[in-house]
Chain A
Amino acid sequence: MADEYKALTHINLPFLDGNGRYYAAGSMIPHEAFEESAQLAEEAINDPDTETPSAEDQIATMIEWGSLSEDPEAELHRDHRPSAPGTPTISTLIEEAKILKAQYEEAGEEVPPEVAALAEARAVDASDEGSGASA
């Protein structure tokens, strides 16, 4: 258990300050904030059939899913790292392959198989990344 944790993404701890306390990616979150949030959640929900997650459970889940780290030098989640403008993406490579393929076909030349394969690939988008509970 650390005294504080680095937020690797944007995190809002519910019930603190009334309506949640926001921590930007890269900021440090004290352990007590998780404890207080969990305690306030239990009081607010106040339902004997609902098990509110403990601070330790929440921290463990967030660390497991790359949202939080005990290491203050840890890199931010890849969604929050700055990307250089013009950096090629899978999508742009596919679009370029499509143009290349069309050029080969127009010239009556055989399309190299690696170009054809890339041109027919589907772009990897956010929804391909996974589903189910994560934190």
Chain B
Amino acid sequence: MKGVGPVRNGTTIWLCEKWSGEACDFARRKLDRQGITALPGMRLERLSLIPIKHAISSAALRALVGPPEECAEIVGNLLLNEGIQRLEDLTMIATVTSNQVAGNPWSNANAFLGVGDSATGEAATQTELQAATNRFYKAMNATYPSRSSQTVSFQSDYTGTEANFAWAEWSVAAGATTASGAGFTQGTTNLQRKVASLGTKSSGTWTLTAQVTFS
């Protein structure tokens, strides 16, 4: 049978903005001089006040330091079957209300950007990042995800000691479990997976933004 060829039409632009440990220290000193000792930031699934000695958010860095010192952009991903199925359950299965519950969408409270250090090839049947131990899922920054036309943007900050390893794979998950520090180590339902190299994080604040476009 002839027909339309196989298509996986969810294109993602991944933007990784990097502020060094020195930039974070500079912002920390500025805040300290103004008597500010804590800033809003994501801890596990909720917005909390995070002491500036532990973390400096990208919002504070943008305001106090300026643009990131380094910015990497990588295009592409492989949509995972479990993510496609979740999208279908949420939007097209009118009678199966058990899937249309608050815990299932990629909402602000339920979406997580995960990074890991495995370069194993992408396969649509995968249900998790492939790193054995170095995996970290972080909750959304405030106001994310957001949508403009057919593009949905997700964004998370990885501060200080978070996700300090080689960034070789990443994904957007709906739900995350197994708390570790201010994040989690397991993603529940991953929309996609991308393998490339974004460098090795050892300090500072790195911000990952995923712009997912369906066409």
Measured CB to CB, the residues of A under 8 A from B are 8-15, 19-20, 22, 24-25, 34, 37-38, 41-42, 44-47, 49-50, 52-53, 57-58, 61-62, 65-68, 77, 79-80, 91, 95, 122-123, 125-127, 129-135
Select from chain B the residue with minimum beta-carbon distance to A59. Answer: B121
Within 8 A of A (CB), among B77-114: 78, 81-82, 85-86, 89, 93, 95-96, 98-99, 104
Shortest distance in angstroms between A35's beta carbon and chain B's nearest beta carbon? 12
Select from chain A the residue with minimum beta-carbon distance to B97. Answer: A123
A31 to B128, CA, bound (A): 24
Shortest distance in angstroms between A13's beta carbon and chain B's nearest beta carbon? 5
- Tell me whether B180 is interfacial, beta carbon within 8 Å: no
| Choice from A38, A44, A62, A131 contacting B128 with Cβ under 8 Å | A131
Q: Given the known inter-chain contacts A123-B96, A126-B86, A133-B130, please indicate yes or no for A45 contacting B125, CB distance below 8 A.
A: no
B162-195 near A? 1/0 per residue, CB < 8 Å: 0001101000000000000000001011000001
A128 to B165, CA, bound (A): 31
| Choice from B78, B89, B99, B196 contacting A44 with Cβ under 8 Å | B196
Q: List 14 A-B contacts (CB under 8 A).
A: A9-B125, A10-B8, A10-B124, A50-B165, A53-B120, A53-B130, A57-B120, A67-B124, A67-B126, A123-B98, A131-B127, A131-B186, A131-B188, A133-B129
How many A-B Cβ pairs are below 8 Å?
153
- Tell me whether B157 is interfacial, beta carbon within 8 Å: no
- Tell me whether B36 is interfacial, beta carbon within 8 Å: no
| A61 surroundings in chain B (CB, below 8 A) | 120, 130
A98 to B132, CA, bound (A): 43
The 3 closest A-B pairs by CB, nearest first: A41-B119, A126-B85, A14-B195
Among B5, B122, B129, chain A packs the most CB atoms within 10 A around the CB of B122
| A45 surroundings in chain B (CB, below 8 A) | 117, 119, 166, 168, 197, 200
A125 to B78, CA, bound (A): 21
| Choice from B8, B75, B125, B200 contacting A19 with Cβ under 8 Å | B75
Inter-chain contact A134/B128, CB cutoff 8 Å = yes
Select from chain B the residue with minimum beta-carbon distance to A14. Answer: B195
| B165 surroundings in chain A (CB, below 8 A) | 49-50
| A22 surroundings in chain B (CB, below 8 A) | 8, 78
The number of residues on chain B lying at the interface, defined by a beta carbon within 8 Å of a beta carbon of chain A, is 44
Inter-chain contact B5/A24, CB cutoff 8 Å = yes
Inter-chain contact A65/B125, CB cutoff 8 Å = yes
| A122 surroundings in chain B (CB, below 8 A) | 98
Q: Given the known inter-chain contacts A12-B122, A66-B125, A127-B86, please indicate yes or no for A24 contacting B95, CB distance below 8 A.
A: no
| A57 surroundings in chain B (CB, below 8 A) | 120
A10 to B186, CA, bound (A): 23
- Tell me whether B123 is interfacial, beta carbon within 8 Å: yes
Among A68, A123, A129, A133, chain B packs the most CB atoms within 10 A around the CB of A133
In addition to A9-B125, A41-B197, A131-B128, 19 A-B residue pairs with Cβ atoms within 8 Å of each other are: A10-B6, A12-B76, A24-B6, A44-B119, A44-B196, A45-B166, A47-B117, A52-B168, A61-B120, A91-B95, A123-B99, A125-B85, A125-B96, A125-B99, A126-B89, A127-B104, A129-B82, A129-B127, A133-B127
Inter-chain contact A12/B125, CB cutoff 8 Å = no
